[in-house]
Structure 1
Amino acid sequence: MKKALSAFGAIICLSAPALAEPLAYPHNVVTLVTHSSPGGGSDVFLRELVRYLSKQIDTNFVVENVQGGSGAKAMARLAQSPADGSIFYATTPTYIYTSLLSSPTYKYDALQPVVNFFTDSEVVYTAVDSPYKTLADVIAHAKETRGRWGTANPASLERQAAEQLKAAAGVDAAIVTHEGGGEMMINVLNGTLDVGIGEIQELRSQIEGKQIRLLATFNPARLKDFPDVPTVKDSGYDVVLQKFRGLAAPKGLPDDVAAIWDKAAPAVLADPEYKKAYEEESLVANFIDHTRYPAFVDQFVATTTDFLKKSGVIQ
């Protein structure tokens, strides 16, 4: 898994200027669906994105939260919708894990990857008043008393990050999953959980309010905004993971509609105001167009399937 992202297509240069005028679009309203709860990582991503995307595409964007089944309900919503560019799904590794770890009616391959925007970071965090000052402290506690670690829904990259960290550290911490980051945050803050694994986007207000302490990032390198936070690998555990964020459509999206997104995505990522906003959230722009994104997703599926088989999670 740690080598997966390096095998996925090249990061495209974001020097494209903002478009002179918004691109014409075949629909007056476009729905962007997420499996995330309000305030969750994908929800925050979409709501921030549409503030700037409307400068590039001449339509009205609506964000719709379709929760349940770790993304299964959202995938079903998309798969049964017209493939005409009126609806998209916010892709993250969750929709891959849900497809591989359960048997939803509609899986990842019922959707067509269209464009990727970002790679973002997973971090290990704890309450600021917890006894854990480093990741090593958390591991030591897990070796003594097992411990309790929180993650998002069972079919998530956060869950796999926790499982890989357990394996690398040789501990058997209990992994407690949640449908959203809010409940997990409460349990970290009240000490029910030793640590949580989440995204900077979800944690920003608690970081700024000095309610939580970041212990490590699963990034391959330290985060620019948090240079004192070591990587998990720096801490002695050979685990490297990053999350991708993009959009998928019902299968059969016309090429001319996909081409509009190929033009708009690099333009929105180059918007100075948006760039300032997403870099503050430790998001890394990683534009992949509709001709390359399917291969990106297929490679992630192959790598994830290999890990799950080797770890005995699936046969």
Structure 2
Amino acid sequence: MSMMRMIGRAAGGFAALALFSSAAALAEPASYPVKVVTLVTHSSPGGGSDVFLREMSKYLGKYINATFVVENVQGGSGAKAMARVASAPADGSVFYATTPTYIYTSLMSKPQSTYKDMQPIANIFLDSEVIFTRTDGPFKSLKDVIDQAKKERGRWGAANPASLERQAAEQLKRAAGVNAAIVTHEGGGDMMLNVMNGTLDIGVGEIQELRSQLDAGKITLLATFNPERIPDKPDVPTVKESGFDVSLVKFRGLAGPKGIPDETAAIWDKAVKELLADPEYEKAYSDEVLVAQPIDHNDYPGFINNFATKTEEFLKTTGAIK
């Protein structure tokens, strides 16, 4: 099954989520085999995955009878976090925040544990990748950034070396015919500081990790890598509309150690649907411009493997891997 077909199938399922809202609000949280669940991310505090997990944790206890804690395991562009999760007990007590980063790290750096050593459990969101700059800086459009890069090379920021953001920047470089220096970071917070102080011309990231500075008017969105404009940001053009044929979408979900029982995974299938239909949480994730895209534990492995196959093909065509 193709990735887009899986997404379409998941979207059809999401159309029924509203049916869960009132019932879920009244239901008791589902019984669960452990009392404490650790949600691991490679992201630094304030980074996209960190924000995603911490916000979601506020609501998960309504649907799964457990306490949820977030653990930041930085290093190796996700390699340390993957090793932490892959070696954990397969009892539903430890999960990893899946993003394209864990695919890129697995393919590019041969870490101790890869995406193949973990069991995809559920996708939850699609996230918008955006290009941003400081509002009081010289760039008012993506064209301005590219023109600058043609004259003086330019400096662009991405979250870490093995990330969708880095690949988005690399693809933009190739499509625009420029040789900008791409400076990578272990988290979105550090990158933000370097964009704000003018060290970087632009950054590539997610709206949720930019929210505070965006709301304060200190940064401006120049474009989105989404195939279509972001519904809540209709004035922000796509990269493709700006003249550069690059489109990318980021997924956000959960994976655990291999061997998690089907009955435990099924608890997550149901809880994710109820969670996404929760009116309070729906407002929170809509404010962060996250698009609900549930994919259950039966279909998520295929989605991940398909993404990995396409990513590997791209990395080989660019010479990033052999």
TM class, shorter-length = over 0.9
Summarize the alignment of residues 110-129 of structure 1 with structure 2, pairs less than 5 Å apart: 110-129=117-136
Name structure 1 gaps, 5 residues minimum: none
Cα deviation per residue 1:108-143 (whole Å; 9 max; x = unaligned)? 100000000000001000011111100001001111
- Which residue of 2 is the match for residue 176 of structure 1? 183
Out of 250, 254, 261, the position equivalent to 2:268 is 261
- Which residue of 1 is the match for residue 316 of structure 2? 309
- Which residue of 2 is the match for residue 145 of structure 1? 152
Distance 1:145 1:8 in 2: 43
Q: CA deviation at 1:95?
A: 0.5
- Which residue of 2 is the match for residue 17 of structure 1? 20
Whether the 8 Å contact between 1:16 and 1:267 is mirrored in structure 2 is no
Distance 1:175 1:7 in 2: 33
Cα deviation per residue 1:148-189 (whole Å; 9 max; x = unaligned)? 000011000000000000111111111000111111111111
3-state SS, counterpart of residue 17 of structure 1: helix
Distance 2:29 2:166 in 1: 39
TM-score with structure 1 setting the length: 0.97
Whether the 8 Å contact between 1:117 and 1:287 is mirrored in structure 2 is yes
Q: Does 1:6 align with 2:9?
A: no
Whether the 8 Å contact between 1:90 and 1:246 is mirrored in structure 2 is yes
Whether the 8 Å contact between 1:16 and 1:266 is mirrored in structure 2 is no
Q: 1:8 to 1:303 in 2, by over 3 A?
A: farther
Distance 2:150 2:5 in 1: 34
Out of 221, 228, 231, the position equivalent to 2:228 is 221
Q: Does 1:96 align with 2:103?
A: yes
3-state SS, counterpart of residue 256 of structure 2: strand
User: Which 10-residue stretch deviates more, 120-129 or 18-27?
Assistant: 18-27
Q: 1:34 to 1:16 in 2, by over 3 A?
A: farther
**Length, aligned pairs only:** 312
Q: Does 1:237 align with 2:244?
A: yes
Q: CA deviation at 1:190?
A: 1.1
Q: CA deviation at 1:7?
A: 4.9
Q: CA deviation at 1:226?
A: 1.4
- Which residue of 1 is the match for residue 278 of structure 2? 271
Q: CA deviation at 1:85?
A: 0.5
Distance 2:197 2:4 in 1: 38
Aligned CA-pair RMSD: 1.1
Cα deviation per residue 1:176-207 (whole Å; 9 max; x = unaligned)? 00111111111111111110001000000000
3-state SS, counterpart of residue 67 of structure 1: coil
Out of 109, 112, 120, the position equivalent to 2:116 is 109
Whether the 8 Å contact between 1:189 and 1:212 is mirrored in structure 2 is yes
TM-score with structure 2 setting the length: 0.95
3-state SS, counterpart of residue 270 of structure 2: helix
Q: CA deviation at 1:5?
A: 5.2
Whether the 8 Å contact between 2:154 and 2:201 is mirrored in structure 1 is yes
- Which residue of 1 is the match for residue 196 of structure 2? 189
Q: CA deviation at 1:8?
A: 4.1
Q: CA deviation at 1:15?
A: 2.8
- Displacement over 4 Å in runs of 4+: none
Out of 145, 166, 171, the position equivalent to 2:173 is 166
- Which residue of 1 is the match for residue 207 of structure 2? 200
Distance 1:259 1:106 in 2: 25
Name structure 2 gaps, 5 residues minimum: none
Distance 2:165 2:183 in 1: 11
Q: CA deviation at 1:291?
A: 0.1
Distance 1:135 1:143 in 2: 13
Distance 1:309 1:8 in 2: 25
Distance 2:306 2:5 in 1: 8
Whether the 8 Å contact between 2:6 and 2:299 is mirrored in structure 1 is no
3-state SS, counterpart of residue 254 of structure 2: strand
Distance 1:6 1:311 in 2: 23
Q: Does 1:293 align with 2:296?
A: no
Q: 1:163 to 1:5 in 2, by over 3 A?
A: farther
Q: CA deviation at 1:221?
A: 1.2
Distance 2:31 2:211 in 1: 35
- Which residue of 2 is the match for residue 72 of structure 1? 79
